[in-house]
Structure 1
Amino acid sequence: MTDQDAPFSANLKMIVTREASVSDLCRKLSINRQQFARYLSGQTRPSPHNTRKIEVHFGLEPGALSWSKAEFQRNYVNLPLTSASDHQVNKLVNEAFSPDLRRLRPYLGYHHAYFYSFGWQGKIMKTLVHLYEQDGQVLSKTIERLRDPVTGHRFVFKYRGLVTMKAERLFIAETSTMSAGEMALTILYGTYRSQATKLSGLTMGSSSASRRDPTVARVIYNKIGNNIDLRKALGACGLYLPNSQDVPSGIAPLLDNHLDPAFDVLTARPVE
C-alpha cells in the first residue's frame, strides 16, 4: 500500500460502517466481495468506474475518498449514523430485492402495461413502465396518464419501485411518488427467451374509489423497446375499451378477470 492509497482505504473503511454489512454493499454495487476486501485493505485501488459507483452510492463528491482522513471525517463521517433498526430494515429489503442482474437484464426497457382499471368499470388502463438498472439494482418507474371518461378531468400518477426475480417470477413493488398512501405489487411470469417481449401476471393495489378496496387484476406487459419516443409512448397511455385500436390484438382476452373453472382464486394466464 502506498502513502497515496492509505487515505482512500481508511476513508472507505469509515464510510462502509453505514451499511448493514460489506456483503450487502457489494451486492448493491455489483462488486466482487473479495475484490472489495482488497480495496479496504489498501492492496489495490478500484477502477475509476467502480470508484464512482462507490461515491454515488454514498453521496460523495468525486475524489472525496482520497481526501485526508480529517477532512473526510469532518465532511462525511461525523454525521448521524443509521440506527440498528435502520440496518435491520435495509437487510430485509436487500434480502427481498437482492438483484440478479444477469437474469433481470432481458426485462430492462420500456413496456406498455395493460390491465382492467381499478376505478373505471369496463375500461382497460394502458400505462408506461420503465425497468432500468442503477447502482447495481433494477428499479421501476411507472406513469399513468388518463382522462376521466365521465368528467373529462385529466390525471397523472407516478410510481417508483424495486424489481427482483424469485423462482422465475418477476416481482415489482412500487410506491406512489405523489401520494404517501399508495402502493402496488406486480408479479409476472418470467420467460426463457433472450428478450422479454410480452409478459403476463397479476397486479395488486387499492382502487381509486372512496373505499380504497384492495384490488387485483390480470396484467400484460408489452415491451416497446429500450430507446423509444417517450412523448409518443406517454401519449398512448390512457383508458380504453377492450376493442380499441390502442389495445393490441390478442391482449384484451388475456386480461379477462373471471375465475378459471379449475381454480377458486384468480391466477395469471401464461402467454403462449
Structure 2
Amino acid sequence: MTSHLAENLKLLCSHYRSIAEVCRKLAINRAQFNKYLGGQSRPTPFNLKRIGDFFGVEGYELEMPPEQFARLVGAGHPEAQALPRTDPLLALLQPLREHAASLSRYCGYYFEYANCMSVPGSILISLVHLREENGLYLFERQERQERASPTLGHAEDWVRCRYLGAAFGLQDRLFLIDYESLTLNEMSQTILIPSFKSRITR
C-alpha cells in the first residue's frame, strides 16, 4: 500500500486532542489504529467506510496524495499555517476573537434545513458540526444533493458540498461565516438567534 492513507489519517487525527479520543469515538482498537497510522496495516473496507464517515470524507479520498488531500479537507501547508503576527486578515478578525461570547453550550451536531435554490420547491438538509478548537469555534457543513436526470426522471448521481467556517457569538446572535472547501467558489454567512433554554435541541 502507499503511504498516502497513513499520512492523511495523521492529518485528520491532528484535529482532535489525541489518537485515543479518535479511537474511542470510532470504537476501533488503539493498537490496530496505530498500525493504520504507521502504514503497517490497511483497514478492511468496513473499517475504511467507518473512518471515512467519521471524518466526513470518502474512502477513495483517503488515498489521495497528501497535498491534494490537505486542500480537500481545508488544511493548509505547514508553511502557510505559520502566518506572521502582522497578517492583515488575522488582525482584522482579532477583535472578534477577543470579544465574542462562548459558544461551548452549542457545540455538537445539527441538521440544517434550507430552501434549495437550484431545485425550487425542494428542501436541502445539511449536517453541521460546531466544535471548539484552541478557544475558537469552528464548524463544518456537509451537503449532498441529488442531481436528477431530465430524461429518466430519477437521480443519476450526487453533488457533494463541504463548507468550512468560523462561528462568533455577538449581541445574542450567532454569526457563521464559511466557504465551500471543495471548489473554493463561494462564501456564505448565516445569522442565528440562539436558544436560551436549559437544553439545546435545535
TM-score (norm 2): 0.52
Letter in 2 for 1:89: L
Letter in 2 for 1:128: L
Runs of 5+ unmatched residues, structure 1: 1-79, 199-272
- TM alignment of 1:94-109, pairs within 5 A: 94-98=94-98, 100=100, 103-109=102-108
Q: Find runs of 4+ consecutive structure 1 residues off by over 4 angstroms.
A: none
Query: Is 1:118 matched up with 2:117?
Result: yes
The 1:169/1:81 distance shift into structure 2, 3 A limit, reads closer
Preserved CA contact (<8 Å) 1:106 1:195: no
> Identity over aligned residues, as a percent?
27
191, 195, 199: which one pairs with 1:191? 195
Letter in 2 for 1:131: L
Tell me how far apart the structure 1 counterparts of residues 99 and 111 of structure 2 sit (CA, whole Å): 23
Tell me how far apart the structure 1 counterparts of residues 146 and 109 of structure 2 sit (CA, whole Å): 22
Deviations 1:223-245 (A, max 9, x none): xxxxxxxxxxxxxxxxxxxxxxx
Tell me the residue number matched to 2:127: 128
Tell me how far apart the structure 2 counterparts of residues 174 and 136 of structure 1 sit (CA, whole Å): 18
Tell me the residue number matched to 1:17: none
Cα deviation for residue 91 of structure 1 reads 1.7
Cα deviation for residue 100 of structure 1 reads 4.6
Tell me the residue number matched to 1:138: 137
Tell me how far apart the structure 1 counterparts of residues 137 and 93 of structure 2 sit (CA, whole Å): 13
Preserved CA contact (<8 Å) 1:99 1:138: no
Tell me the residue number matched to 1:93: 93
Tell me how far apart the structure 2 counterparts of residues 192 and 83 of structure 1 sit (CA, whole Å): 36
Tell me the residue number matched to 1:161: 165
Cα deviation for residue 149 of structure 1 reads 3.2
Preserved CA contact (<8 Å) 2:110 2:129: yes
Tell me how far apart the structure 2 counterparts of residues 121 and 138 of structure 1 sit (CA, whole Å): 32
Greater relative contact order, per chain length (Cα 8 Å cut-off, separation 6+): 1
The 1:159/1:108 distance shift into structure 2, 3 A limit, reads same
- How many aligned residue pairs are there? 116
The 1:183/1:193 distance shift into structure 2, 3 A limit, reads same
84, 90, 102: which one pairs with 1:82? 84
Greater radius of gyration (CA):
1
The 1:161/1:122 distance shift into structure 2, 3 A limit, reads same
Runs of 5+ unmatched residues, structure 2: 1-81
Tell me how far apart the structure 2 counterparts of residues 167 and 94 of structure 1 sit (CA, whole Å): 17
The 1:81/1:122 distance shift into structure 2, 3 A limit, reads closer
Tell me how far apart the structure 2 counterparts of residues 191 and 135 of structure 1 sit (CA, whole Å): 24
The 1:157/1:98 distance shift into structure 2, 3 A limit, reads farther
Cα deviation for residue 156 of structure 1 reads 0.7
The 1:118/1:81 distance shift into structure 2, 3 A limit, reads closer
Letter in 2 for 1:155: V
- Backbone CA RMSD of aligned residues: 2.1
The 1:179/1:99 distance shift into structure 2, 3 A limit, reads farther
Cα deviation for residue 89 of structure 1 reads 1.9
Tell me how far apart the structure 2 counterparts of residues 83 and 134 of structure 1 sit (CA, whole Å): 19
The 1:83/1:130 distance shift into structure 2, 3 A limit, reads closer
TM-score (norm 1): 0.39
User: Which secondary structure does the structure 1 equivalent of 2:164 belong to?
Assistant: strand
Preserved CA contact (<8 Å) 1:106 1:194: no
Cα deviation for residue 166 of structure 1 reads 0.7
